Amino acid sequence: MTTYKKEQDASIRVGQQMTLTIKSLGINGEGIGYFKRKIVFVEGALPGEVVHAEVTEAREKYATARLLRVVEKSASRTNPPCPVYAECGGCSLQHMDYAAQLASKQEIVIESLRKYARLNQPPVSPTIGMDNPWSYRNKAQFQVGKENGKLIAGLYQTGSHQLVNLEGCQVQHEATTKIVQTAKQIIEELGIPVYDEKKRTGVIRTIVARVAFATGETQLTLVTATPEIPRVKELILELRTKLPELVGIAQNVNNQKTSLVFGDKTISLWGKASIAEKLGELSFDLSARAFFQLNPEQTQKLYNQVKTAAGLTGKELVLDLYCGTGTIGLWLAPYAREVRGIELIPEAVEDAHRNAQRNQASNASFHVGRAEVLMPKWAKQGTRPDVVVVDPPRTGLDDALIRSLLDVQPKKIVYVSCNPSTLAKDVGKLMQRYELKSVQPVDMFPHTAHVESVTLLTLK
C-alpha cells in the first residue's frame, strides 16, 4: 500500500535520467515505457528494449525522454540505411526491421480499439506491407535553402525549421531524386537566388518532382516567391538537356508567409501541363497541384480492401464521403449502381469530375460540401445509401455525421482511416447500431509511423 502511494506521488523532472523497459510503439513511432506509472515516450527506442534515457519534457500525464543508451537491444533493431536518418524528419522507423514495423502497426490499431472502443479482441488482420518497402513515393517536395553559402534542398527536422539537405532519399522513387538533384545543381550554377524565409528575399522556395509510376512520365514544378525567375530561358534549356525524361516544367508562385507549399498561380514553363498516371484500370491526368496518393502500389491494395469490404453486387447506392479527387468512388463505380462523393475542397471536386469523365464513370457524381451537412440533407430528401465509405482527415468523423449515419443506417460503413485513435473513438460510437466486422491495416508509408486501415462495420 505504502509503495503504491509513493509511486502515485512521484514526479518526473526535466534532466532526470532513468532506465526504462519499452512496452510498445506510440502513434508517432516513439517507444513507450513507464516510470512510476507515468507514460514516457522515448524516440528511437523499440518495444522489448531496456533503455537509459534522460527526461526532456515532464507533463502532468506524460513525459518525453531522449535515448541515451540501449541497455538491452531488441532483435528487431536494424541499422537505418539513410545517412541523415537521425536528423531528417521524414522517416521515424528505419531503425526497426520491416516485419516488426508491420506487426507494430497492427498492434497500434488493436490497442487503440481496446482503449477507445472497449473491445477485448478487435478483429484486426496483419498489416498488408510491401515486398520492397523502398522507392515507393511518387513525389518529392523539397524545400530549398542555403547552408554555408551552398544551395541545399530537403526536409525540415522534426519539430523545427532546420532544413536537412538530402542528396538522395531511399523512400523516394529514383526518378524524383534525379530531378531534384539536377534542378538543384542547375539553379546553383545559374546563380538563381534562393528564397530566404526570414528576410523574405530571393526566388526559389521549393522543388517538386513527380513521377507517374504506370507511364514513367515525370514533371518538375518550381515554387517561387516571385512571378519572374532570373535567367528562366537558360534554366528551362538546361533542365530539358539534363533531364530529357521530363514531360513538363511548371512554375507555381507563392509569395505568402506560409507553411503551405503551393500558391494559387501555376504557369506552364515548358511541355505538358500534366502527366498521365494509371491506377489499376483507372487513368488520371495529374497537373502540378493535383492531389494524388503518394504510394500508388499500396493505394491499389488499400482500394481493393475497400472494394472487398463494400461487397458490391451492382445494385447499391454508395456514398464516398471525404472523397478528395474521387479515386475511391471511381474504384467502386464499376461495381455499384451509383456512386456519390462529397468533398470540401472545390478544386478537388473539379478534379473528381474530370477523373470521372476520363474514366467514363457515368454513374459517379461528386459534390462540394461538408459530409456532415450534405449527407443529412440528402437523407431528408429521401436518399438511402446502401454503403457509405468514409475517408476523413486525422481528426476523424464529425459528431453530426456519426448521428446521421446512426439515423440513416446504411447496411455497411467502410471506414478508411489514417489515425487509429480517432478511428477507434468513432467505431466506439457507431457500435450502438453497428457491428465491427474487420479491420485491415495497410502500410502506405513504410519506415514512418503512419498507420492506414480499412474497417468494415455492418448494421446490427
Ligand X SMILES: C[S@@+](CC[C@H](N)C(=O)[O-])C[C@H]1O[C@@H](n2cnc3c(N)ncnc32)[C@H](O)[C@@H]1O
Give the interface with ligand X as residue ranges (CB under 6 A): 293, 322-325, 327-328, 342-345, 348, 370-372, 391-393, 398
Strands 50-58 and 62-72: antiparallel
- Residue 284 CB, shortest distance to ligand X, in Å, is 11
The kind and range of the H/E element at 355 are helix 346-358
Question: Is 322 one of the annotated binding-site residues?
Answer: yes
Neighbours of 429 (CB within 10 A): 18
Half-sphere CA count of 252, side-chain side, radius 13 A: 24
- SS3 string of 387-444? EEEECCCCCCCCHHHHHHHHHHCCCEEEEEECCHHHHHHHHHHHCCCEEEEEEEEECC
81 by Cβ neighbours in 10 Å (0-12 / 13-18 / 19+) ranks as exposed
For residue 109, which amino acid is it? V
Neighbours of 449 (CB within 10 A): 18
Please tell me what DSSP assigns to residue 333.
Answer: G
Buried b (16+ CB within 10 A) or exposed e, 357-383: eebebebbbbebebbbebbbebbeeee
Closest CB to ligand X among 143 and 422? 422
Nearest residue to ligand X on Cβ basis: 324
* 82 is annotated as an active-site residue: no
Please tell me what DSSP assigns to residue 243.
Answer: -
Strand partners, 442: 128, 452
Question: Is 293 one of the annotated binding-site residues?
Answer: yes
For residue 424, which amino acid is it? A
Region at 44 (left for phi over 0; alpha for psi -120 to 50; beta for the rest): left
Asked whether the beta carbons of 339 and 315 are under 8 A apart, the reply is no
The kind and range of the H/E element at 105 are helix 98-116
Question: Is 391 one of the annotated binding-site residues?
Answer: yes
Please tell me what DSSP assigns to residue 127.
Answer: P
Rounded Cα distance, 87 and 427, in Å? 37
Look at residues 214, 347, 229 and name the one whose alpha carbon lies nearest to residue 284. 214
Question: Is 181 one of the annotated binding-site residues?
Answer: no
Distance of CA 336 to the CA centre of its chain: 28
Q: How many helices and strands, by DSSP H and E, does the chain display?
A: 10, 21
| DSSP-based three-state secondary structure for 187 | helix
Alpha helix ranges (H) inside 117-221: 174-189
Residue positions in the annotated binding site? 293, 322, 343, 391
**Residues within the annotated binding site for S-adenosyl-L-methionine?**
293, 322, 343, 391
